[in-house]
Amino acid sequence: MLIDLSHIQRLYRSDEVETTALLDIHLGIEAGEFVAIMGPSGCGKSTLLNILGTIDRPTSGSYSFGGQELTELGEAALAAFRRENLGYVFQSFNLIDELTIEENIELALIYRRMPKAERRHRVAHAMDHVGIAHRARHYPSQLSGGQQQRAAIARAIVGEPRLILADEPTGNLDTENGAQVMDILQRLNDEGATIVMVTHSPSHADLAKRRVDMLDGQVVISVRNAI
Amino acid sequence: MLTTILRGALRQARRHPVYVGLDLLGLALGIGVFLSLALLVRYESSFNAGLPGVERLVRVDEHWTLAGIAPMEEADISFLALPFLRQDFPEIEDAARLLPSAFRTEQGGAFTKFDGYETDPSFFRVFGIALSRGVVDDALSRPDGLVLSEAAAMKAFGTRDILGRRVELNKAGVRSVHVVTGVMAPIHGPNLLARAEMIVPIPGEEARTRSCFLYWGSACGAIVLRLRTPEDIGAMRARLRDFVIRHASGADDDRVAIGPHPEKIYEMRLVPLRRLNFYDVGVVDSDDGVDRNVVNAIGLIGFLALVLACANTVNLATARAGLRAREVAVRKTLGATRRVLFVQFMGEALVVTAVAGIVGLVLCEILTPEIASLTGEGVTVSYGFVLAVLPVVVVVAGLASGFHPATILSGYRPAAVLAAARMPSGGRGAARLRNALVAGQFAIAIAIVICTLVIDRQTAFMRDADRGYSKSGLLIGQQVLGGDLEQERRMLDTLRAVPGVSAVGFGELEPAPHAMSRSDYKYAGPNGQVSIQMLFDRVGPGYFEVYRPRLLAGRWFDPERGQDEGPDADDLLKSKGSFNVVVNVKATTTLGFATPRQAIGQVLTADGLRARIIGVMDDMRFVSPREEVAPEIIFFDTLARVPFVDPIPAVRFQGVARAEMARRLDRAWASVRPELASNFQPADERMAELFVGDERRGHIFTVGAVVALLIACMGLYSLAAFSAIRRVHEIGIRKTLGASGGQITILLLRDFLRPVALACVLACPVAWVVMRGWLSGFEQRVPLSPLHFLVAVAAALLIAALTVLGQTVRVARAEPARALRAQ
């Protein structure tokens, strides 16, 4: 088991209100799986993805990744964990406006202190993989939404992570670009990548190997898709 | 419209109190410093402006071009010139001679000092000074007349109604009884008479006997002329050379005249009194002049403080423009034109600047007395000036700081703004402008800091520099006037017997000398005859032990050797006899000797007087660090048969506190010369008089450096705070990609400090050029060390880093998931 979530709970507290985002989540994901998480807005999908990505901490519960308990790690160790193991794809792409596409993709490797020559090589390879090599020197604002999302996928895969997290990767794209992005994700999964994707689109969820439905902070259904 | 503007400004202040507060404080500080320094510049530039008809007043200076020494201008001039000037120049309406004097009143053995002048009855007419008590034309018409300033009247009598009172004055030990014939009304603004407390007529005896009344080559006071029209200055100047040839020429042996061709070495110059303050830098025997460049620099600092504050406002306003983009978009959607919005934002900027102007006025009230105390100048807040300048400053600063942001804000396109998820940042161009402004601000601040460090180092150096003699434990006394050999011996013996005194000696020159005399000496060397002007000094036994000069070659005088005895008055008058002398190393280099040793045994001549060099000592600096040390010739007086001419006693002491030593010496002095104030002063205090003006004005640079750094840091802080918020989302992305808090902190610090680093690169060459120019005005100066630059740069980077560190760490520690949600 690559990922093992057990009794995961996430509460948000403001001055007067306490909101439960996740309630007693149990979820296991094997290496090589492609899991789609679905559910209505506010059901906790993105919170679950953030916890899987260690950019948010559960209020209680256990999160084991490849046998390592992550809830006990400090900030620096979690940053190192993300560097080595995770790749992110966001709905709003989250590319840095001030950096070129090439620099945005390279960023994931800079924090690993990888030698420059190797970084260049990997960035070129990742850009080829998603078909945006010709836009390497452009800034994000000069690209279409589909191109920006492909750049974001290149950034997610350039470090060859053990897990790719995708938060509504097609949410801001038209049908054609959305289909292209799903193609890429499927191809990556076929090549061995483990992917967890949050989506509102049933058709895109059907392209994953497993579908997890959530409601009110809980996992209600977890079924394997017949592919 | 006005209501909309005021409401808009108020709403901004309520929504963003920190930014608006910092913006306002920076502007207020800039305006306050600008007003205070403008007052100081106005004060320095208004010297003598309060004298009625000042445009017709001139001082007559003399300018000498003598062999072996740098050309020099003296404010003092021979009084012999005045009757001839009156006779030859009908342009002269009136004239007065001013002989600076220190008067003392005595009470129970204690002296109270009053500065003042001995002068002509025309004094008050020439300067246009009114008397609050007494009659201008009569006040100095009687030989025992005495006029006091109102302040002096209060100091001496506690009242201004003192006409007819009898006052016994002691001038250098000579007592005379005077009757108060007038009280001077105060003169408005800074002027050359500001320190004059007592005015008395020139005593007839003095005019008959003192050399400056009798010889062209001797000077002891100034001549001030009131001309009929301002144009007469030029007309007179054109004829002064002929005047000199006509009246100051004479045969070589004519002691009254300057020589057969006085015009070759001597020139008379007219200096308008209005320009005196700036002109007197480097003029010998003048009051402290003020370096115009320094005053200009002070004005520039004030102006730069205002520019820095305006740059802050521009920077913050453009950075924050995005926050108001939606407001602009909605207003435009509802029908507002670009012009209306521009006027609104300009109006808001003017409202903020106006409020800052009021706070700046309060700061000016607080700062000006501090600046007056730092500089020792009598500058005060003149509301006529400030209230005339302030509205202009507010409008100019408001327009300067509001124009660019108002242009950006009013130019937003509503469709693009309303459609965008994030607030517009203004793009890379706006970011570059903001960085350029921060770089400019810090460049100015760093340049001022470097200048401050160099000025501080130079003033410390002026205090501590090697002067060629041992400074500590050295007290200098009052001239022992009278020329009474027996009394001079008794004075030396009495002072030597005071417990704690280790040596006592007489010399005719002292640190910061009151009078200097020079003579022309010739040396027939292997390369022909060399002629140089040399400063004359005569010293007695004990002098070497008191000053401890460094002997570089030969020997010092020996009282036991008869041939070391120097000339008497007759020898000097007739230029005859052979004597042993010691010279300073400056004399040997001017004469062309390669080493001090080569000068030993050589003979200098002045007409029939032969001076054989027996010793060469290192230069002893008695003059200002700005001046060159002159070649000096020293004769010896054993006090066996020849009295000194008004010698100055110097005392070396040890094992006793300085104040106690001075008290003991005062008591001992009074037992020999009870009528003469002893006035023992540390040598360092005497020397400090020569550069205290430089030192005090240097403090302004410290104020400027602190204010400039403060404003620049306010700008950087606000910008960093704002940028940090804008970059939270980016930080979230980076952290998601695995960046650690430390990496983010370094990234942000590097970005925030990049303009500061650029500022360092810009500031250093400018400061180097400016300070090289300033230091070149000093003969004795510190080298322009890279250390000053490194310290300033390191300090600026450190201060800037500390300014943004809080913001940086706060953003770097943000939870990535929360950061990603920020837009």
Nearest one of B353, B437, B333 to B755, comparing CA atoms: B437
Residue B819 has pLDDT above 80, yes or no: no
CB-CB contact of B332 with B376 (8 Å): no
Query: Residue B58: beta bridge partners?
Result: B225, B272
Of A75, A86, A94, Cβ closest to residue B733: A94
Separation between Cα atoms, residue B372 and residue B36, nearest integer Å: 10
Res B426 pLDDT > 70: no
Domains of chain A: 3-95+162-224 (3.40.50.300)
Residue A110 neighbours by CB distance under 10 Å: 17
Look at the block and give the residue holding tokens 């004239």: B95
Task: Name every residue whose Cβ is closer than 8 Å to that of residue A120 and which is 6 or more positions away in sequence.
Answer: A106
* High-pLDDT (> 70) share of chain A, %: 100
Token pair, residue B463, equals: 């205090």
Going by the DSSP 8-state scheme, the letter that residue B468 receives in this structure is S
- Residues in chain A with CB shorter than 8 Å from the CB of B739 are 79, 111
A positions 84-103 inside 8 Å of B (CB): 84, 86, 88, 90, 92, 94-98
Under 8 Å between Cβ of A62 and A33: no
Distance CA A3, CA B123 (A): 103
Residue B421 scores a pLDDT above 80: no
Q: What is the CA radius of gyration of chain B?
A: 34
Residue type, B290: V
Could you report the per-residue pLDDT of B535-582, keeping only the tens digit for each?
A: 999 999 999 999 999 999 999 999 888 788 888 878 877 778 899 999
Decide if B739 and A53 are in contact by the 8 Å CB cutoff: no
A69-95 in b/e form (b: 16+ CB < 10 A) is ebeebeeeebbbbbbebbbbbbbbbbb
d(C-alpha B611, C-alpha B152), whole Å: 49
Q: Is A137 on the interface with B (CB under 8 A)?
A: no
pLDDT value of position B537: 92
The string of DSSP codes covering chain A is --EEEEEEEEEEE-SS-EEEEEEEEEEEE-TT-EEEEE--TTSSHHHHHHHHTTSS--SEEEEEETTEE-TT--HHHHHHHHHHHEEEE-TT----TTS-HHHHHHHHHHTTT--HHHHHHHHHHHHHHHT-GGGTTS-GGGS-HHHHHHHHHHHHHTT--SEEEEESTTTTS-HHHHHHHHHHHHHHHHTT-EEEEE-S-HHHHHTSSEEEEEETTEEEEEEE---
**C-alpha to C-alpha distance for B201 and B653, rounded to whole angstroms:** 41
Q: Which two tokens stand for residue A95?
A: 């590319």
Instruction: Return the number of other C-beta atoms located less than 10 Å from residue A165's C-beta.
Output: 24
Q: Which stretch of B180-184, B263-267, B712-716 has the lowest confidence by average pLDDT?
A: B712-716
Interface membership of A59 toward B (CB under 8 Å):
no
A53/B729 Cβ within 8 A: no
What DSSP string runs through B423-451? PP--HHHHHHHHHHHHHHHHHHHHHHHHH
The Cα–Cα gap between B301 and B38 comes to 10
Chain B residue numbers with beta carbons less than 8 Å from the beta carbon of A79 are 735, 738-741
User: Which residues from chain A sit within 8 angstroms of residue B732, using beta carbons?
Assistant: 55, 94
Distance CA B120, CA B224 (A): 11
- Other C-beta atoms lying within 10 Å of the C-beta of residue B74: 16
Contacts for A40 with CB less than 8 Å, ≥ 6 apart: A215
Round the CA-based radius of gyration of chain A to a whole number and report it.
17
Q: Do A111 and B738 touch (CB under 8 A)?
A: yes
Instruction: For residue A83, give the nearest of B428, B738, B816 by CB distance.
Output: B738
Output B463-468 pairs: Cβ under 8 A, ≥24 positions apart.
B463/B684, B463/B688, B463/B691, B465/B621, B465/B625, B465/B780, B467/B511, B467/B620, B467/B621, B467/B622, B467/B687, B468/B549, B468/B550, B468/B617, B468/B618, B468/B619, B468/B620, B468/B621
Distances, alpha carbon B793 to alpha carbons B513, B708, B759, B786, in Å: 41, 14, 9, 11
CA A125 to chain CA centroid, nearest Å: 20
pLDDT digits (tens, 9 = 90+) for B73-132: 999 999 999 999 999 999 999 999 999 998 988 887 778 889 999 999 999 999 999 999
Predicted pLDDT of residue B423:
57
- Across the strands, what pairs with B681? B476
State the Cα–Cα distance between residues A101 and A95, nearest whole angstrom. Answer: 8
Touching check for B809 and chain A: CB below 8 Å?
A: no
Q: What are phi and psi of A37, to 5 degrees?
A: -105, 130
Q: Which of B324-338, B591-605, B765-779 has the lowest mean pLDDT?
A: B324-338
> Could you tell me the two tokens for B270?
């007219």
Give, for B572, the enclosing helix (H) or strand (E).
Answer: helix B569-574
Q: What does the pLDDT read at residue B182?
A: 95
Q: What is the pLDDT of residue B482?
A: 73
Q: Concatenate the DSSP letters of all residues of B741-807 into one string.
A: HHHHHHHHHHHHHHHHHHHHHHHHHHHHHHHHHHHTT-SS-----HHHHHHHHHHHHHHHHHHHHHH
Beta bridge partners of A86: A163
pLDDT tens digits along A31-65: 999 999 999 988 999 889 989 988 888 999 999 99
Work out the angle at residue B254's Cα, subtended by the Cα atoms of residues B252 and B259, and round it to the nearest 5 degrees: 45
Q: Best mutation site among B737, B751, B809, B815 for testing chain A: the one with the most A CBs within 10 Å? A: B737
- Decide: B759 and B443 in contact? Cβ < 8 Å: yes
pLDDT band per the 50, 70, 90 thresholds, residue B822: low
User: Which residues make beta-bridge pairs with A10?
Assistant: A22
- Residue B422 has a pLDDT of 57
Q: Which tens digits make up the pLDDT trace of B775-791?
A: 888 888 899 889 989 99
What's the pLDDT score for residue B715? 79
Q: How many CB pairs under 8 A join A and B?
A: 61
B735 and A79: CB-CB below 8 Å? yes
Taking only the tens place, the pLDDT of each residue in B155-174 is: 888 999 999 999 999 888 88
Nearest by Cα to B315 from B440, B134, B477, B128: B440
**Res B719 pLDDT > 80:** no
Contact B816 A55 (CB under 8 A): yes
DSSP SS3 for B635: strand
Question: Which residue ranges make up each domain of chain B?
Answer: 2-43+292-462+694-821, 54-279, 474-688
Question: Does A55 touch chain B if contact means CB atoms closer than 8 Å?
Answer: yes
Q: What pLDDT, in 10s, does the model give residues B207-256?
A: 888 889 999 988 889 999 999 999 999 999 999 999 999 999 998 778 88
B409 — pLDDT class (breaks 50, 70, 90): confident
Contact B740 A75 (CB under 8 A): yes
| Closest-CA residue of chain B to A108 | B737
Identify the CA nearest to B615 among candidates B641, B630, B636, B638: B636
Residue A227 confidence (pLDDT) = 59
Whether B331 shows a pLDDT value over 80: the answer reads no
Does residue B689 sit in helix, strand or coil? coil
The predicted structure's pLDDT at residue B402:
85
Beta strands A86-89; A163-167: pairing state: parallel
Distance CA A161, CA A159 (A): 5
pLDDT at B559: 85
Task: Determine which of B62-66, B130-134, B418-422 has the lowest per-residue pLDDT on average.
Answer: B418-422
Mean pLDDT (chain B) is 87
- Residue in B732, B737, B820 closest to A111 by CB: B737
Q: Which of A6-15, A216-225, B413-422 has the lowest mean pLDDT?
A: B413-422
In the predicted model, what is the mean pLDDT of residues B524-545?
A: 89
C-alpha to C-alpha distance for A124 and A137, rounded to whole angstroms: 12
Q: Give the Å distances, CA to CA, from B692 to A150, B38, B288, B369.
A: 72, 22, 9, 19
H helices present in B249-337, as ranges:
276-279, 292-320, 325-333
Amino acid identity at A152 = A
- Name the token pair of B138: 């009569």
- Which pTM value belongs to this model? 0.74
Higher-pLDDT residue of B432 and B584 is B584
Q: What is the pLDDT of residue B761?
A: 92
**Chain A residues with CB inside 8 Å of B421's CB?**
92
Q: Which helix (H) or strand (E) holds B134?
A: strand B131-134
Asked if B720 and B803 count as a contact pair (C-beta separation under 8 A), the reply is yes
| Cα distance between residue B290 and residue B691, in whole Å | 11
Contacts of B88 (CB under 8 A, 6+ apart): B239, B243, B246
Q: Quick one: pLDDT band at residue A210, thresholds 50, 70, 90?
A: very high
